[in-house]
Amino acid sequence: MVESLDERAQGGIAEWVAGLIKRGVFRRTDYLRNLSNVVLTLARHGRGVIVGRDPNHYDLIVNTGTLGVEGAAARVVDAFRLRFGAAT
């Protein structure tokens, strides 16, 4: 199952989503909302790790080894509020 979720094996899906965005059928905000739903669904099932491979395109990188889980979580919440507004 994990191998099937690896983004390196999902090139066709990425191309399909990019085509939808280019044609205006699927907005970037739709992608972000759906991605958020997937991450939240995974979180409801327990602990997990989301592995990224190109840090040049990330908004935030945290090191739980340095900050600890609670510290990292606090930084993520702060960054989210900074980017999307304190009311969210």
**Each residue's pLDDT tens digit, 22-80:** 888 877 787 788 888 888 888 888 766 676 667 677 778 888 889 988 898 899 889 88
Give me the residue spans of the domains in the chain: 1-50, 54-88
By C-alpha distance, which of 35, 54, 31 is closest to 43?
35
CA atoms of 87 and 53, how far apart (whole Å) = 31
Q: What integer pLDDT is reported at residue 7 of this predicted model?
A: 58
